[in-house]
A and B are shown apart, each in its own frame.
Chain A
Amino acid sequence: MAALTIQKVNKVYNKTVHALQDITFEIQEGELFGLVGPDGAGKSTLFNILTTLLLPDSGDIQILGMDLINDYKQVRQEIGYLPGTFSLYPDLSVKENLDFFAVMYKSDIEANMDLIRPIWRQIEPFSKRKAGKLSGGMKQKLALCCALIHRPKILFLDEPTTGVDPVSRKEFWEILQTIRTQGITVLVSTPYMDEATLCDRIALIQNGKILGIDTPEAIIEHFKGTLYTFKSANIFSLLEALKRCPLQCNYYPYGEHCHIAFYEDMETAMPQFLQFLEDNQQEHGDIEPIRPSIEDCFIEIVKMNRHE
């Protein structure tokens, strides 16, 4: 059963900025769904709508069988929200913050302790410390406890790992996996492509449009080009030279490598490409085929959409 059904949701700011355009997708109960896209793609706007803080201009949203727009008061009891920026009371202690939100949700900490215990155990030693004095990762864990204290059926996480160190990020995703096992549907947004593979399904979003929705494996499966990676002595001159490449290809820097996806028959294309690099006096390392990552897929999809 679908926990969340979004149909043709539109939001325009100031009559000119089209923040969301015909957003349509479904999230199944118990799913860990990722919303992946760069900054300014419309992720936070969508979260604001889903958490009943903002009204869409048009469109229909069903959440757990309720109409999100009209039954927003009942919806609030069933959703949990972890905003992108730290939004707890910095001058209240860890325990005080948790107590406060428990009462706000008419919830009982003891009754829901089994749900948050794995997270709570990590921050409990600091329960008397003021929330503003916690480290970034700890702050997020506390915020997650507060968002879960009323045992919501759907949890919305808006970029929970932005600005969090890699170790804490990994821990945080492990926590998300355990939350899922409790039957809570999770919608998480992230600008980090590597995190997308940890989701059941992901939606790629850019400029307020959904560019594709699928499991991470299927998205990688559907990569159309043939992808190669290689190192270059001078990446800037290489990228400059590639602009003149006559082959159907898409190239971009990827860490210290250059990724290039060809849309040609590689039997004939590869010799042509090697010839091209030589003609343009580009020194390069071994050109090796690789399996595309979600980021490669995202770049391809964005590129294709631009051409359409």
Chain B
Amino acid sequence: MTKIRSALSSIPVAAWLMYAFLGWFIVAFLIYPNLNVYYEIFWGGGSFSLDAVHKLISSERAMKSLYNSFILALSLVVTVNLVGIFLVLVTEYFEIKGAKILRLGYFTTLVYSGVVLVSGYKFIYGDSGFITRVLSHLFPAFNVNWFHGYGAVLFVMTFACTSNHVIFLTNAIRKLDFQTVEAAKNMGASTFYILRRVVLPVLKPTIFALTVLLFLTGLGATSAPLILGGSEFQTITPMILTFARSVTSKDLAALLALVLGVATLLLLTLMIRFEKNGNFMSVSKVKSALVKQKINNRIGNVLVHTAAYLLFVIYIIPVVLIILFSFTDARSISTAMLSPGEFTLDNYITVFSNMSAFKPYLVSICYAAVASLAVVVLTLMASRILHKFNNIWSRTLEYALLIPWMLPSTLIAIGLIVTFDTPKPILGNTVLLGTLWLLLIAYVIVHIPFTLRMVKASFFSIDGNLEDAAKNLGARSFYSFRRVLLPIILPSALAVLALNFNNILADYDLTVFLYHPLYQPLGIVIKNSTDAQALADTQALTLVYSVILMIMSAITLYGVYGRSSRSKTK
């Protein structure tokens, strides 16, 4: 009897509760509604049909777009990693004059994205853009329509997609033990050799995680190909979005999304295997902080400085132009001409004058705060399990959490609606449709895979000895998690939190299906007032809202990320 009692008390109740909660959450919100939507789509008519496959294979355009998506994804993995690693080395590793200002420039992609970002680039390189005008002035034979197709899309996306590098690689490189660099230097290793053999291996887990995300971003590219691709370089996602909204073509959307999702999973499986084969981490117990390295080679130094400042200019100009043009009217925007007489505050007055519209900001901020925090907590739990165990259950858990990558967000929304519009036993017979919860749950679901990748990567760069030491000193599992592990991964976790928060603020695709009618989020209000059907100066309003969102995002980033990084350097 006492034996049983002691056996029972040794079972960690809290841990089991956590497992039970995770299991329930995954079944109720990741597996059930998403399987349901696949079922409705493919078997909805009573029998399974391969029509969708046939339609897609016989469409030249669909096949070409799919091919382009993969080409773009693979190219981005190369170009963004190159640029991203360079940016982080410039701001964190090498001694570069004005690195702090450069960093601000490189951070700009964190506060704006999508259509606005691409339009920003079009202001500069488009047919009436600034650079184009300079070039055509210098070379009269210059073709003003040069900026479109594969090259243009790759150019814009290469610079647009470095956000994650700037945040997570920075976190990773700060964990580098400077003693290892010193040791290599003392042994006479060259700058490049140290980079390759000492610095990069430490960054490897993070680079792997970022590579998977890049591949997915490339496959999911929407606005850049739509605006700059021209007819010669269209990708598949715009087609998926169109089909997902139409009543009869959902099967095509689901099928295409499945193809992209499976490709991503394959890459991920490959990466997970690589990760297992070798996780490099420093074995030093007393780490010393990184000292910025001077580039001794004069020519090399000049080259790196030039490249760093050139990149800075590329990053900063679109943002400056967006802010400037938000003070002009549609005609100035479409011709990309700035003249001093045209500046006006009218656009801002229009946006802020009908301020029953403060409520949407509040609704969106609440949703974004709660959802992004919930995602991080959830993925912390999951990463903890993945870090602790390696068995069939942990692997199942990991793949289950990646399900949202297999469906476009529109279909995830539809899955939630068709599943939870009637009482379901798994939720204690409550109806979620028409409550505030449904949208919150959807935001959480959609951001799980990305968050998990990043949180997990930082978990796996932790030295296992630390936890063992805590255990040997008698710390309980939760205590050692809270006092030893959490502080190490907190910078990355907070960064993900901020990124998710910013993403949710102005989301439209998912929100439009699920928001509670009485609590309209910001994304809906923006879309309504900048819709093509609207009468007002819609292009100018789009820019005004973008500037507002940039400011909100910048505040979030400063609050969460800027402060935490400063406290670290103290």
The answer on A and B forming one complex is: no
Binding site for B on A (CB under 8 A): none
